Every structure is written in C-alpha cells, then in structure tokens.
C-alpha cells in the first residue's frame, strides 16, 4: 500500500525507551524518534532534562500511516501503556520529565484527541492528568537513546514485556486488508 498521507503525533508516556519500543511494535507506525518536548530551553541534553529544570517531557515522535493505524487507535493504545491519573510519575520513574502528554501538530487532531480522552476519563473516578497541547518544540535526544531497547534488549523499561506482545498483535479495526 502506498500513501502520501503520513501523519505525526508526539506522545509522552514516562520513560521514552519503553514508550518508543511499544509504539514501534504497532502495525502502521512507520518510524519513531525519542526526544524532549514542550519545555522552555533550547536543544537540551538528557543530563539537563534529567534535572527537571528544563520543563521538557521525555516524548516519542510517532510517524504513522493513518490508512493502517488511525490516530484514535494509536491514542487508545497509548492509554493502555500509561497510568493517566499519575502526575509526573510512570512506574518507578518520577519527575516532571516523566509526565504524560499528547502533543499535536495538526489542529484537526484535537477533536479525536478530546474524544479519546473523554472516553478514557469515564473509566476513572479521579481526573486524568495527561496534557493535551499543541507541540511547542521537540528536540531529538542523543543517539544512544534512539531505539534503546533494540540496542539493549535487557535494558531498563517501566513497561511490562506482555505489553509489547499486545502491541504487536493489535490491529486497528478500521484497517481494510
């Protein structure tokens, strides 16, 4: 299948190593890149972001084919990989850099983002703390962070291994084979 309709979404789901690896498993995701989003410093290093003084969140840039994986499907998968009620903490990782967020570049995406967010909110008694904002900035992380769990299969990850298998098997129900 060929398409000129490639889309981008930026997702902050805690430590970007696991979040990137999770999204790489999903059919329709064409490429991923880890970096830092929506902070107030220019081109920060990992060491700087780790101090929690830059305002940046560890974020995965997901480039996808919406004919295979819709934004709605990807967001539903995102909510399976995070605790949306946990502020600045996912798994054992704590700090503002580990906050959750959906950062968009296409204003038309906000309708789908809000729809999925509101449906997810119905599953919880406490408010969701997932940011929903336009992407202000994104800086690519150092090369050793890219595809980290491919390079380091036994490396640290806050996500359970079963979640990666789930992502490999998941299919967007709107996909026509």
The CATH number of whichever domain residue 55 belongs to comes to 3.30.1060.10
pLDDT surpassing 80 at residue 13: yes
CA distance 35 to 19: 11
Do 87 and 100 meet the contact criterion of CB atoms below 8 Å apart? no
Residues marked as catalytic:
15
Q: What is the mean pLDDT of the chain?
A: 95
CA distance 54 to 84: 22
Q: What's residue 1's pLDDT?
A: 46
In a domain, residue 20? The reply is yes
Domain with 114 in it: 7-168
In the chain, the number of structural domains is 1
In a domain, residue 31? The reply is yes
CA distance 139 to 35: 5
Question: Could you give the C-alpha distances from 113 to 39, 43, 86, 93, 159, in angstroms and in order?
Answer: 21, 27, 19, 25, 23
Q: What's residue 170's pLDDT?
A: 92
User: Average of pLDDT values for 59-86?
Assistant: 98
pLDDT surpassing 60 at residue 3: no
Do 112 and 71 meet the contact criterion of CB atoms below 8 Å apart? yes
Predicted TM-score of the model (pTM): 0.95
In a domain, residue 173? The reply is no
Question: Could you give the C-alpha distances from 168 to 22, 56, 76, 142, 147, in angstroms and in order?
Answer: 9, 29, 14, 26, 16
Question: pLDDT tens digit string along 116-166?
Answer: 999 999 999 999 999 999 999 999 999 999 999 999 999 999 999 999 999
């Amino acid at each position: 299948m060929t398409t000129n309709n490639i889309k981008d979404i930026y997702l902050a789901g805690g430590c970007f190593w696991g979040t990137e690896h999770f999204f790489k498993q999903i059919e329709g995701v064409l490429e991923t890149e880890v970096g830092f989003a929506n902070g107030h410093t220019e081109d920060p290093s990992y060491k700087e972001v780790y101090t929690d003084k830059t305002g940046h969140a560890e974020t995965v840039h997901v480039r996808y084919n919406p004919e295979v994986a819709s934004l709605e499907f990807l967001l539903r998968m995102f909510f399976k990989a995070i605790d949306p009620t946990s502020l600045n903490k996912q798994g054992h990782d704590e700090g503002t850099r580990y906050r959750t967020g959906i950062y968009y570049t296409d204003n038309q995406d906000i309708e789908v983002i809000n729809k999925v967010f509101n449906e997810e909110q119905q599953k919880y008694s406490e408010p969701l703390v997932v940011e929903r904002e336009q992407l202000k900035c994104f800086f690519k992380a150092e090369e050793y962070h890219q595809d980290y769990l491919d390079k380091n299969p036994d490396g640290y990850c806050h996500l359970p291994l079963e979640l990666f298998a789930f992502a490999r098997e998941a299919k967007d129900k709107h996909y026509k084979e």
